[in-house]
């Protein structure tokens, strides 16, 4: 029961202090989705409605290489297997990090 209270307190704090930030996170996720949609190695980008961008590599066998190229730049995203990947923007994801990430995406090669 106590864990639920801690989670509720965190949610209440976020609603009281960071709701306006959600618009920034959602905007950045949409920008990521838009860039991904232009890249030759991307098969599909799901519609971005929140701060989560989900996309698919054209060649699922490139997933490990894609993740390693991001990790070399200290970028970590979630791989969901079979070439499906997920990016989540959040409070600690700065505009500087965002611009770097967009550039890294454009430079990835297979």
Q: What is the tens place of the pLDDT at every residue in 33-77?
A: 999 999 999 999 999 999 999 999 999 999 999 999 999 999 999
Per-residue pLDDT tens digits for 70-91: 999 999 999 999 999 999 999 8
CA 11 to CA 22: how far, in whole Å? 13
pLDDT class for 1, splitting at 50, 70, 90?
Answer: low
Across 58-82, b (16+ Cβ under 10 Å) vs e yields eeeeebeebbebbeeeeeebebeee
DSSP 18: S
Sheet architecture: strand order including 42-45: 42-45, 52-57, 84-88, 78-81
């Amino acid at each position: 029961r106590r864990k639920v209270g801690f989670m509720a307190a965190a949610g209440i704090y976020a609603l009281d202090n960071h709701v306006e930030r959600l618009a920034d996170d959602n905007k950045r996720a949409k920008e990521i989705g838009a860039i991904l949609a232009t890249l030759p190695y991307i098969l599909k980008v799901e519609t971005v409605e929140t701060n989560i961008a989900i996309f698919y590599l054209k060649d699922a066998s490139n997933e490990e290489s894609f993740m390693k190229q991001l990790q070399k730049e200290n970028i970590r995203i979630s791989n969901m297997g079979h070439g499906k990947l997920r990016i989540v923007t959040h409070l600690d994801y700065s505009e500087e990090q965002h611009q770097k990430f967009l550039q890294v995406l454009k430079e990835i090669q297979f």
